[in-house]
Amino acid sequence: MRDFTLTIYRKLLSELLHAGYGFVTFAEYIQDSEKNKKTLILRHDVDKKPLRSLRTAEIENELGLKGTYYFRVIKNKLPGKAIEFIAKLGHEIGYHYDDLNDASGVEEKALELFKKNLAKLREVAPVKTACMHGSPLSKHDNRNLWKNFDYRDLGIIGEPYFDIDFNEVMYLTDTGRRWDGEGFSIRDKVVSSEKLVFSSQDSVDSSKKSVVSSKKKETTNKLKLHSTIDIIGALRNDLLPSTIMLTVHPQRWNDQWLPWIWELCWQKVKNFVKYFVVRRSS
């Protein structure tokens, strides 16, 4: 199905706006003390082909939206011009760290790499948040860097896998080039949507709303969100919770046929490999 294109991406964002969601960066979500309105945390993991991010950033800017773009530092290099361009559009820039993997699991070395790469990124744009890179074929989980260290000591105010309660936030990611790719995801996983808790926004009508929330929660658990069209349908029927983190990988969204076909075929190969890795680990 050719539904992972920039045209459909724009449509998805427009439908979310029409459904009443306010778009925020991850840093804004962390700093918002209220969290009692319909909120869409827009996150981008720029794993590769950073120039593809320019188009998604432009589309979001045209719609008056902003999100967080997590960039990697690979072999001491980063796409500085792309980062500057996206930051000027008002998007948040974050660090997509892969340091424990790069340090072969040596924590002290990984911390020094994190500091070095973070400083390099901050030379181009302010950085307040960080998000691990999954490194699916590595035996090292980059999140384990924080077992003995604290990223807040480095001026990082949040990391999605540590600072979002996914019992209360629905997580939608295009990992595996589909929205229901849990079976192909090795590390990009959070609490199951079956455990989502929908809180009342009005204490006066809390008893009535709790009944509505319970029914909505039950309905959400049964949703099959495979394609972007499925998400749009759920939005139009008011079936999604009030707070969502939407994670997209910009290299997957392209309206040009040859890059789109290449991404499709390559992702199928990766899904095949990751499927067996997940089965073996479980």
Domains within the chain, CATH numbers bracketed: 6-281 (3.20.20.370)
| 44-69 mean pLDDT | 96
Res 269 pLDDT > 70 = no
User: CB–CB of 92/41 below 8 Å?
Assistant: no
User: What are the two backbone dihedrals, phi and then psi, of residue 83, each rounded to the nearest 5 degrees?
Assistant: -65, -45
pTM of this structure: 0.81
**Span 94-138, pLDDT tens digits:** 999 999 999 999 999 999 999 999 999 999 999 999 999 987 778
Beta bridge partners of 22: 39
Q: Return d(Cα 266, Cα 176) in angstroms, integer.
A: 10
Task: Give the model's pLDDT for residue 135.
Answer: 75
The tokens 């990082």 sit on which residue?
A: 156
Q: Return d(Cα 262, Cα 180) in angstroms, integer.
A: 21
Task: Give the model's pLDDT for residue 187.
Answer: 47
Task: Give the model's pLDDT for residue 181.
Answer: 65
Angle formed at CA 177 by CA 176 and CA 181, multiple of 5 degrees: 45
Amino acid at residue number 158: G
Tell me how far CA of residue 68 lies from CA of 15, 90, 141, 235, in angstroms.
Answer: 19, 10, 22, 22
Task: Give the model's pLDDT for residue 180.
Answer: 86
User: CB–CB of 248/10 below 8 Å?
Assistant: no
Beta bridge partners of 127: 93
Question: Which of the pair, 26 or 205, is modelled with greater confidence?
Answer: 26
**Span 188-247, pLDDT tens digits:** 556 443 333 333 233 333 333 343 344 445 545 568 899 999 999 999 999 999 999 999
Res 156 pLDDT > 80 = yes
User: Among candidates 254, 189, 227, which has minimal Cα distance to 48?
Assistant: 254
Tell me how far CA of residue 280 lies from CA of 114, 186, 273, 274, 275, in angstroms.
Answer: 30, 11, 11, 10, 9
Q: Return d(Cα 158, Cα 162) in angstroms, integer.
A: 7
Task: Give the model's pLDDT for residue 136.
Answer: 74
Amino acid at residue number 217: K
Burial class of residue 15 in the structure, from the number of CB atoms within 10 Å of its CB (0-12 exposed, 13-18 middle, 19+ buried):
middle
Q: Where do the DSSP E strands lie in the chain?
A: 22-24, 39-46, 68-71, 92-97, 127-132, 170-173, 243-248
C-alpha 15: how far from chain center:
18
